[in-house]
Structure 1
Amino acid sequence: MSNPPVVFIAGERQHAGKTVTSLGVISAISKIIDPKDIGYFKPVGQEMVTLPNGEKIDKDVMIVNEFTGIDMPDMGLLSPVRVISGVTRDFIQSDNPRAITERFEKSVHRTLEALSDKKLIIAEGTGHPGVGSVVGMSNARVANLLGAKILYLVGGGLGRPLDELEVDMSYFYHNNSRVLGFLFNKVLADKVDMMKEVLTEPALARLFPEWSPKLKVFGYMPQIKYLNNPSMHLISKSFKGHRALKCGKCANAWHVPCRKVKIISQGNNVFDPSTSLRPRDIALIGAGSHRRLKRIVEFNNSLPGEKLGGVILTCSSAKMPDAETMELMANSCLPTIAVMQDTADTDLTLYKCFTNTKLQLYDRIKHELIVKLFEEHFDAERFIHSFGL
């Protein structure tokens, strides 16, 4: 049996939106193709989760299984190459690294054969185009192994995305990879029309005349507010030894994407939360700040719609936060954690969290936004026709 066509989703960097695109494309084409006829797998994975049977697989496989209606009976098979700690070192120190690469290749082919009854397979890449090359499994190399056409994610804007395309398209061309076309992603809402007018397929053909067939554009995806922002639940996982001041009334609030981090440094005599904080903001404040915390809670209770994202109490200890603070926050319905780090170190951790957020298994609200985004801005019909389906 011949293998079905494969689309390989690649991007210019980590966190370019490959998993979001996988979910969006699957949701969009499911309206044209029976979901049972769509396959998905992550050929090379780096971020692992553990299945109930103890097997470790890439997290993105779990995400796609959670949110889509496609048939994924053996998730372990859908994460064939797992680049976990020690794999790169063992490869470099091996007397026969080629044998390791060949073993990886065989695993990928086994997965491809297992999905041979599908009409179309979505294969999700990892990081930028060259990621995995250290073990002979770069995105370009894997796409070629699969005989795939590449759907390449490009950031919004003009100058920077085109500069990145110049490098990445040269890499794909050097490796004789087949790029089907582009999806412009995370475009500022007020820039979408401009990009549609300037970055047209004829313009891209002039910029990349060496490509045949000509490169296609399948959509200009506006940036979704808060889609890449972390929730307090996810943020809490970034702090070792933190204490969560939970209360049953605010369970859902722990999973709401937050907006910004606001360091509360004003003294009690001048601090006014109404001028410092907005809905979904995280208030970063010392664990012993009773009067200012009380104002934050009162302000949060006064908000008519969306509430604050949460509170992080810094410099906590065995005695702080004290019983008074614990009671105040437990009754506030505000997600709150106490961390031992000072404000500067906490802010640095939060910065890393905000710039490296991936979709989580519980992010159903985000998934609904992704489905709507692709319904409105992705050319699913043209995409399907590009594979002769």
Structure 2
Amino acid sequence: MCKKIFIAATGQHCGKTTISLSLMHLARKKYQRVGFIKPIGPKCIQFRGMTMDMDAAMIAGVYDLQEDAHLMSPMTLTSGSTRQFLDGEIAPDYPREVILKAVEELEKKYDFLVIEGAGHGGVGSVVGMNNAHIAHLTQAPVLMVTGGGIGSVIDAVELNLALYKEAQADVRMIMVNKLVPEKKERSLIYLRKAFEPRGITVTSAFNFSPVLAHPTLQHVAHLLERPLKGDPNERSRICHTIQLGAASSQVVIDHLNEATLLIVTSSRDELIVTASSLHHMPDFKRRLTGLIISGHAPMSRITQQILEDSQIPYIRIDETSSEVYYRLREHVSKIGPDDREKIELINSTAERFIDFEAIDALL
């Protein structure tokens, strides 16, 4: 018999996909066959000729589940699909039927199945199949992921619990994520006082980690919709700091922080040449992850040559430095299948911080 768990969240950016990735890793240490499904896919990409949710595609790639990709993202919310549903062009029972069929197929094949929700409990309501309804439909016990804090966590959990209770879904565990280490124990004490008398276990996941919160070079290239040039082996490097190269070359170089993504105007030939020339030095390479070269002005031929010969990762874009800077500052990093550095960190950290046996015992 297949064990199932539904990964819910109180909202976006709680770390739900990170937890799903962690549980896949931990479950595979105990169970021979571990599967994954994201029933509602609001953010879709093309994967092996199929339109599927980006998180489902990432899990398929990381854990070599490509043969089940057609089942892992059964209901995608692509552009216009919500209007089609409300206009009656999509049958009212279609979301329920396609999700249930996919889950039943995966249950036959796997010993443990991770079912990841999409955002807060109400996501999917527009097609009559929100997260709470799916948790009840699949008869999967719910683990609800939330951000750190006390009062804000209680408020967010209560708001979502009402919807899950109405749908008759079985919420068994609240997992508090991104906790500040100094406040972790105190937060858990009070959250357990709030929820454990109601039969809901409260546990913790990861401490807040800038590494997990920051994007990789590949994510930056995807966000800016520009190719990443230079050494392709460095695409998974994490950018801890985003810095504008507005000062003199010497000042910029001297004040680089750890793993900096440097935004430099295309007319700053001397800074581009300096950064490119120093790329082979280990200490400098550690501090500078890559360049974003912005602006309409063309680089000189010799600068372009030095840049390319150095193999320093860079992205060329016509937008101004300030426009690029503010776009990146607003970006919240998602995990992709090529983010080897992040995935390895998540899995190793999960082994230390997440008690899978305790979770498994509740299912």
What does residue 45 of structure 2 align with?
49
Q: 1:114 aligns with which of 89, 105, 109?
A: 105
Higher helix fraction (1 or 2) = 2
Q: 1:123 aligns with which of 115, 130, 135?
A: 115
Is residue 261–residue 289 contact of structure 2 (8 Å, CA) maintained in 1? yes
CA distance in 2, matches of 1:348, 1:44: 31
- Seen in structure 2, the aligned counterparts of structure 1 residues 316 and 186 have a Cα distance that, compared at 3 Å, is same
* Root mean square deviation, CA, Å: 2.4
Question: 1:299 Cα deviation (Å)?
Answer: 5.5
User: Is 1:273–2:264 an aligned residue pair?
Assistant: no
**Aligned partner of 1:279: which letter?**
E
User: Is 1:231–2:216 an aligned residue pair?
Assistant: yes
2:223 is paired with a residue of what secondary structure? Answer: coil
What does residue 9 of structure 1 align with?
7
Q: 2:241 aligns with which of 242, 260, 263?
A: 260
**Aligned partner of 1:294: which letter?**
V
What does residue 80 of structure 2 align with?
86
Question: 1:7 Cα deviation (Å)?
Answer: 0.9
1:331 is paired with a residue of what secondary structure? Answer: helix
* Equivalent residue runs for 1:140-289 within 5 Å: 140-188=132-180, 190-191=181-182, 194-200=183-189, 203-204=190-191, 206-208=193-195, 211=198, 214-240=199-225, 242=226, 246-247=229-230, 250-267=231-248, 271-289=250-268
Give unpaired runs (5+ residues) of structure 2.
none
1:180 is paired with a residue of what secondary structure? Answer: strand
* Equivalent residue runs for 1:318-357 within 5 Å: 320-352=298-330, 354-355=331-332, 357=333
Question: 1:300 Cα deviation (Å)?
Answer: 4.8
Is residue 260–residue 289 contact of structure 2 (8 Å, CA) maintained in 1? yes
What does residue 370 of structure 1 align with?
346
- Seen in structure 2, the aligned counterparts of structure 1 residues 234 and 72 have a Cα distance that, compared at 3 Å, is closer
Question: 1:227 Cα deviation (Å)?
Answer: 1.8
Higher mean Cα deviation, 376-385 or 340-349? 340-349
What does residue 315 of structure 1 align with?
295
2:234 is paired with a residue of what secondary structure? Answer: helix
Give unpaired runs (5+ residues) of structure 1.
none
**Aligned partner of 1:199: which letter?**
L
1:116-158 Cα distance to aligned partner (Å, 9 max, x none) = 3333321011112111111111111111111121111111233
- Seen in structure 2, the aligned counterparts of structure 1 residues 238 and 209 have a Cα distance that, compared at 3 Å, is closer
Q: 1:60 aligns with which of 55, 60, 71?
A: 55
Is residue 321–residue 338 contact of structure 1 (8 Å, CA) maintained in 2? no
CA distance in 2, matches of 1:225, 1:341: 27
**Aligned partner of 2:86: which letter?**
I
Question: 1:83 Cα deviation (Å)?
Answer: 0.9
Is residue 145–residue 176 contact of structure 2 (8 Å, CA) maintained in 1? yes
Is residue 16–residue 155 contact of structure 1 (8 Å, CA) maintained in 2? yes
CA distance in 2, matches of 1:27, 1:243: 31
Question: 1:307 Cα deviation (Å)?
Answer: 3.7
- Seen in structure 2, the aligned counterparts of structure 1 residues 237 and 116 have a Cα distance that, compared at 3 Å, is closer
CA distance in 1, matches of 2:152, 2:75: 32
CA distance in 2, matches of 1:205, 1:277: 43
- Seen in structure 2, the aligned counterparts of structure 1 residues 138 and 287 have a Cα distance that, compared at 3 Å, is same
Q: TM-score, normalised by structure 1?
A: 0.85
CA distance in 2, matches of 1:116, 1:267: 61
What does residue 69 of structure 2 align with?
75
Is residue 16–residue 153 contact of structure 1 (8 Å, CA) maintained in 2? yes
**Aligned partner of 1:278: which letter?**
N
Q: 2:130 aligns with which of 138, 146, 153?
A: 138
CA distance in 1, matches of 2:227, 2:301: 14
Is residue 261–residue 283 contact of structure 1 (8 Å, CA) maintained in 2? yes
**Aligned partner of 2:178: which letter?**
K
Is residue 253–residue 335 contact of structure 1 (8 Å, CA) maintained in 2? yes
- Seen in structure 2, the aligned counterparts of structure 1 residues 51 and 338 have a Cα distance that, compared at 3 Å, is closer
Is residue 293–residue 315 contact of structure 2 (8 Å, CA) maintained in 1? yes
**Aligned partner of 2:56: which letter?**
V
Count how many residue pairs are aligned between Structure 1 and Structure 2.
361
Q: Percent identity?
A: 24
Is residue 210–residue 240 contact of structure 2 (8 Å, CA) maintained in 1? no
Higher mean Cα deviation, 21-30 or 165-174? 165-174
Question: 1:384 Cα deviation (Å)?
Answer: 1.3
1:267-318 Cα distance to aligned partner (Å, 9 max, x none) = 56xx51244312311111210112233343455555526241111111134x
